Amino acid sequence: MERTLYLNEDFCAVAEDQRLVEYIPVDRNDQTGQILRGRVQRMMPGLEAAFVDIGRKRAGFLPLKENSSSFQSGAVHSGDEVLVQIRKEEKGEKGAFLTRDLSIAGSFLILMPMNRHIGVSARITDEADRKRLTETGRKLSGGAFGLVMREAALGEEEDALRAEVVTLQERWERIARGEAESVEPAEELMRDYQPRGLDAIVRNQPLSADLARQLSEAENRRIRLPHGGNIVIDQCEAMTVIDVNSSSDAGGGNRRGTVMETNLEACREIMIQTRLRNLSGILILDMIDMETDEERRQILEALGNAFRQDRIKTVIHGFTHLGLIEMTRKRSRPALSEKVKE
């Protein structure tokens, strides 16, 4: 695979084999991932949450219970000053979603200074590799902080991982002292894609005509597939629904072959459009009906292989009782459609 990273003042983008897969308009107001010092404005015991003033018109929403059982921090009270991280930017009438379980990402590791959990990326499935990386993480942390071993850590020597831990700890010490640190899209893409492999970095140049066309098509509801089928993408408030359709002349003799060909083509296109449009939350895929469990297994496997290229955490939950594929994808930044509308 040939991967190119485009870095400009107004946008950052990623192309893989001449297909545009990420496009991030540079927005100085987007602080996703940034660690800020806020003040608890109001406690909401019924919601087990608090509203925190982070210097905006709309207060941020802070759950009082974190997901991790090893989160290390005391209770908060109205008027307290707290360090929080923006997990999701504000959307509509909702303020930013905050957490006290801070994380600082590197290329190989994620440091969690308020946690003691040692985790391994779900992308690493070999049990021997998971056990080895867990033991390495425990050795590196010494019980003083939490670590998540990213997929890129798999082939790295312990010394390289230790060096990154030192770098991340230095970043955390600067943040704890009150030094502001922003998370720029260019830095984020370099950090996430360099371990995966970058063939070229293009700076301060517009997208080619073909890539610009692909970006424009990402506003379309319907996307054509190579052999005549199409996918239809509908973004709703609570989820995104993607419908796969066969071509109009798919009623020939080898219908099963045509169905599988279209569904397999759809898997790759769904991956591309999901990343390019930055779809997140619940995704429901309505593939063309298949006849056997083996065919359905092949489609789930094809989806899993396609989304291994995605740097954002995506979980394929499988087929529902209605024959739909359910997926979830972590929300990082606003969807491309939101930025285009702005």
| pLDDT reported for residue 339 | 67
Alpha helices in 106-181 (DSSP H): 127-141, 158-176
Element (H, E) at 118: strand 118-120
Q: Where are the domains of the chain?
A: 35-99, 103-181, 220-341
Angle at 133 between CA 127 and CA 139, to 5 degrees: 140
Q: For the whole model, what pTM was predicted?
A: 0.84
CATH of domain 35-99: 2.40.50.140
* Structure-model confidence comparison of residues 80 and 247, the more confident one: 80
Tens-digit pLDDT profile for residues 251-263: 555 566 789 999 9
Least confident of 165-169, 178-182, 223-227, 297-301: 178-182
| pLDDT reported for residue 73 | 79
| pLDDT reported for residue 262 | 95
If you average pLDDT over residues 264-270, what whole number do you get?
Answer: 97
Give SS3 for 325: strand
Tens-digit pLDDT profile for residues 164-214: 999 999 999 999 888 767 778 899 999 999 999 999 999 999 999 999 999
Least confident of 136-150, 171-185, 202-216, 308-322: 171-185
Q: What is the mean pLDDT of the chain?
A: 91
